[in-house]
Structure 1
Amino acid sequence: MKTILVMVLMMSLHQRVLVSAQECPSTHDLLNSLRQVEKMLAVHETSYQQGVRSLRKKISALHNSTMVIFKMGKNASCPKPDPPANGRRLGRVFGVGHEVHFLCKPGYELIGPRTRVCLESLKWSGQQPMCRRLNSTITSLASFTSDASSSAALSASPAASSPSPNSSPTSFTPSSSIRPSNCTHFLGSTHCTCDVGFTISGRDNNICTDIDECHLFPLAQPGRLCVHQCLNTPGSFHCVCPSGYSLAKDGRSCTDIDECENHSHNCTADQLCVNTFGGFQCMTVECPKTKNATYIQTSPMLCERTPCMLRDKKCTQAPSSISFHFLAVVSNMSAPRVLFRVSAARVVGDTLRFGLAGGRGRGHFSVQRSGRQTGTLLLVTPVKGPATLEAEVEMSELERNTLLGRYLTKVTLFVSPYMF
């Protein structure tokens, strides 16, 4: 608007200059013309500012009247909803657009919507929910729950104890695996959702069906939910460990229970308790009885030969000492793998040799020289458990190919039936 006014004034001034072009206006006349233009601009600017202020007042009045109407409608509220039996209601504001939530006591499950909204009709959306007692076999399981909004979200909650590995997967009634969806009716539209662990279905999205997480993530898959066994529960799942294991803190892995350390074994006082993966073994260390040599037990894991008679070659060729060692491994452990090392405290002769003398499962073992005074027992092929293998590692001292002494190490390998 200002631009148009300036153009009109400039055209008027230009015409005046053309009319008097023959006279060449003086500086005084030009200054007077510019002052007149400046006055006219100031008058129009004042008028424009007054129009803006008037418009602002009208907008403010309209906003205030709208807020009054909104507050009047906001004060309207729905009747106070009753909490379900054996449950409680969350939420103290019952105005239009506000929500209330419902929870059940432990041992009960909620049937119906978890959330209800106060509609413009001053009625609550959905139906009044109820709390129903859970099946005893379901409540004994430590379930996995999540606070995530997605029905496919999963998180783990560790259980204090795990059910027996021989227990069969829990079967659920249709009422526990199928439940109505949580629908909200607001401003003419309907939005239905399901609780965590359920997927929405039905012709009108009015049914929530339990998601079988154990079926979606089987044990053979890399992203498996449970290391051992998975039990599906309504809206969740539960991991179970075999006997001899406890459920780890992550709720999915299994941790071996050391029966020897917590004194839950049944070994006698003269037996050695050896903890294995998923159990224990009661072992008795006995020195061999042979005609050629006599051994005495000098420590719980060591037998030493008594001095031989002069020129008794059969006695001198018998092992000078026999040591016993017990190892526990998991099933199908990758190979090759170092199991045990045998070392000589000092070397008397000029040669030290290592080799396998015998034992059950020799095809799974090998002995290699790993140092001047050290030999290593290797597992060369994987072993599927459960299995018990034995290897006898022999260390011989020689002087100019003459045997000075033999030392035998008996290693017993307990292979777990599980890969954990």
Structure 2
Amino acid sequence: MNAAIVITLLCSCLLHPTFGQDCPSRQEIHGSLKQVQKLLSAHEASYLQSLRNLKKKINLLQSSAGKQATRAINGTCPKLEAPINGRKLGKSHSVGHEVHVLCDPGYELVGTESRVCQESLSWSGQQPTCRDINECTSSPCLNGGTCVDEVNQFSCVCAKGWAGATCQSPVPTFFVTMTNTSAAISPATAAAAASTLPAATTGPFVRPSRCTIIQGTTHCTCEPGYTISGRDSNTCTDIDECELFHNGQAGKLCLHACVNTPGGYRCTCPAGYNVTRDGRSCKDIDECATRQNNCTKDQMCINTYGGFQCVRVDCPKIPNATYVKTSPMRCERNPCPLDNKACSQTPNSFSYHYLAVVSNLSAPRVMFRVSALRPIGETLRFSLLGGRQTRRHFTVQRSDRVTGQLMLVSPVQGPAMLEADVEMSELERRVQLGRYITKVTMYVSQYEF
């Protein structure tokens, strides 16, 4: 019988003794009260024991959570080394921080660009490597030329009779002019005639010819780079190779500018470029690698074709949110208060990237790829931010489930600077979980080399 029912019945009999034989005697009531008291004591003891067990479990959970939090706060991942022919961006090895890897010019990244320090105190992904880009893969050397792969460039060893950056130009051929002066004469007379030929006018662009008389015929030749001009077989005039091969079918002698010299020519390049080993092409000077720049310590040097840019990455200032720089090229949002919805709608991070391209680069062409390292939601959405000017030259396409790519859709005439912002949104059942902005700045050179 329930203790509450027993107590109610006993109270009724004590208050209304008129019930007669239906009520138990006082002795029976006293025994029942003792049983109820024992029952309540047993329930109380069981309840107190349950409370003690619950408190122990709560204390154990709190202790375990405290140890994990202390480990997460104080623990760091092992130090990461930069790959050979590459460099590492980011110095923090704490949990949740990222380290980015960039390869030197002439090398391409194999593996993950960014690695994150996980709560297990290990880095996500695998150690990336920087692999040499083989510029000879596309067989750029023409007319039987041999390609030599170099760092961030290539050179061509041309076959006989060809020259140029890609062996596209035939080597100029100079012809010997022969002039008939008389009929057959004796050898003695020929020798005398050869020694009495009039002296030619001399100068840097004029040379005397070399003439011999054989069986009554005068043969006159010129030094390489000169030709007999007009009827005067004694005078050799410099050949202007720059004018002769300016717009020939075989291509120009020089990639940029040609300067005629006595008996030859030389190629020159604009400021920021050096002449290559073949003497006809131009290669960019890396002012950042050779320290030929004036960037300050708080700036990063970005090499461009024909020059360089000093950039400083500052975290954006957005209402309702604050950002902190976690690497030289990345800013992340500080945690938002639970009741601040406006803060949770702001971008989680901003990444900054800089590209150098030549003028009139062919399009369409993939310029940059954005990928999710560890997707949380069920859907990733990629979009291009910006106005008409940005959308005139760029678009964003998805290459796979977790990767979007920034596409150049029309050539750009340099010099110019273009900016494009790629947004990656993470969704779960159409609810936004996070936004990530990648800001790409493209420096377009003045020249097409």
Q: TM-score normalised by the shorter chain: which range applies?
A: 0.5 to 0.7
- 1:286 equivalenced with 2:314 (yes/no): yes
Structure 2 partner of 1:139: none
Say which SS state the counterpart of residue 175 (structure 1) adopts.
coil
Give the CA deviation at 1:125: 4.0
Which 5+ residue runs of structure 1 have no aligned equivalent? 1-118, 131-172
| In 1, Cα distance between equivalents of 2:196 and 2:338 | 101
CA shift, 1:211, in A, is: 1.3
Cα drift, residue 185 of structure 1: 2.0
Work out which of the residue numbers 195, 198, 204 in structure 1 matches 2:226: 198
SS of equivalent to 2:292: coil
Given the two structures, how large is their TM-score scaled by the length of structure 2? Answer: 0.55
1:127–1:389 Cα change, 3 Å: farther
Contact kept, 8 Å, 1:126 with 1:182, in 2: the verdict is: no
* Letter in structure 1 aligned against 2:334: T
* SS of the residue 2:414 aligns to: coil
Distance 1:316 1:129 in 2: 95
2:277 to 222, 243, 249: 249
Name the residue aligned to 1:227.
255
Where do residues 195-344 of structure 1 align in structure 2 (5 Å cutoff)? 195-218=223-246, 223-344=251-372
Cα gap change, 1:302 to 1:128, in 2 (>3 Å) = farther
Whether 1:406 and 2:438 are equivalent positions in the alignment is no
Give the gaps of 5 or more residues in structure 2. 1-186
Q: 1:399 to 1:191 in 2, by over 3 A?
A: same
Taking the TM superposition and a 5 Å limit, the aligned residue runs for 1:137-156 are none
Kindly report the root-mean-square deviation, in angstroms, between the aligned alpha carbons of the 2 structures: 2.3
Kindly tell me: are residues 229 and 341 of structure 1, through their superposed partners in 2, closer, same or farther at Cα, counting changes over 3 Å?
same
Give me the whole-angstrom Cα distance separating, in 1, the residues matched to 2:264 and 2:300: 43
> Kindly tell me: are residues 309 and 178 of structure 1, through their superposed partners in 2, closer, same or farther at Cα, counting changes over 3 Å?
same
- What's 2:378 paired with? 350
Deviation at 1:307, TM superposition (A): 0.6
Show CA shifts across 1:205-254 (max 9, x none): 22212211111222686511001111111221110000010000000000
| 2:408 matches 1:390 | no
**The one of 371, 374, 397 aligned to 2:403:** 374
Q: 1:349 to 1:328 in 2, by over 3 A?
A: same
On the 8 A contact 2:259/2:267 being kept in 1, the answer is yes
CA shift for structure 1 position 179: 2.7
Does the 8 Å CA contact 1:338/1:378 hold for their aligned counterparts? yes
Which whole-Å CA distance do the structure 2 matches of 1:127 and 1:253 have between them? 47
Residue 214 of structure 1: SS of its match in structure 2? helix
String of CA shifts for 1:283-337, please: whole Å, max 9, x gaps: 0001001222100000000000001111322211111010000000000010011
Instruction: Give 1:59's aligned residue.
Output: none
The whole-number CA distance in structure 2 between the counterparts of 1:221 and 1:318 is 58
Shift of the 128–279 alpha-carbon distance from structure 1 to 2, 3 Å rule, reads farther
Q: Percent identity?
A: 61
Report the count of equivalent residues.
Answer: 260
Tell me the residue number matched to 1:32: none
Inter-CA distance 129–247: structure 2 relative to 1 (3 Å threshold): farther
Q: Counterparts of 2:210 and 2:243 in 1: how far apart (Å)?
A: 25
Contact 1:219–1:226 (CA under 8 A) maintained in structure 2: no
Q: Report SS of the residue matched to 2:204.
A: helix
Secondary structure at the aligned position of 2:326 is classed as strand
Worse-matched range after superposition: 341-350 or 209-218: 209-218
Structure 1 residues 221 and 329: CA distance shift in structure 2, 3 A: farther
Match of 1:362 in 2: 391
Secondary structure of the residue aligned to 1:332 is coil
* Alpha carbons of structure 1 residues 120 and 215: separation in structure 2 relative to 1, 3 Å: same
